[in-house]
């Protein structure tokens, strides 16, 4: 039996993914049309995006280390996330299509749980 990723749409619980991977940390885009999430379906934890109905699941990151906790910018153009790709947990940002992945923090302490200001 596969693991499932759920999302609440109004008061209905909707199954969006159904596979043996761990799909987690969903984050709705500001316009409600996309969901960014993490999955280990390709061997380690990466960030994916899909349509709100679960279709068109697309991997955005490809790192030998884990990338997780995606968070959409208020205008939907960027996604912040955390990664261990440089040795410890740092905050990164990328365009919503996965391009221009850029590290924002660089220190020996772990950083986590990125959040955007409202505007």
Task: Report pLDDT digits (tens) over 43-68.
Answer: 899 999 999 988 999 999 999 999 99
Answer yes or no: is pLDDT of 98 > 80.
yes
3-state secondary structure 63-113: CCCCEEEEEECCCCCEEEEEECCCCCCEEEEEECCCCCCEECCCCCCCCCC
Integer Cα distance of 4 and 90 in angstroms: 28
Domains of the chain (ranges; CATH) run 24-119 (2.120.10.30)
Residue 54: burial class (beta carbons within 10 Å; 0-12, 13-18, 19+): middle
| Mean of pLDDT over the chain | 87
Whether the pTM exceeds 0.75: the reply is yes
Q: Indicate the DSSP class of residue 7.
A: E
């Amino acid at each position: 039996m596969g693991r499932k990723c759920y999302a609440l749409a109004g008061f209905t619980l909707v199954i969006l993914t159904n596979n043996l991977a761990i799909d987690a940390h969903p984050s709705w885009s500001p316009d409600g049309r996309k969901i960014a999430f993490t999955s280990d379906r390709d061997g380690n934890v990466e960030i994916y995006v899909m349509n709100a109905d679960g279709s068109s699941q697309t991997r955005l990151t490809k790192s030998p280390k884990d990338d997780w906790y995606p968070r959409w910018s208020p205008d939907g153009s960027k996604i912040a996330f955390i990664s261990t790709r440089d040795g410890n947990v740092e905050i990164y940002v990328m365009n919503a299509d996965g391009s221009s992945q850029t590290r924002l923090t660089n220190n020996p302490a772990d950083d986590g749980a990125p959040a955007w200001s409202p505007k």
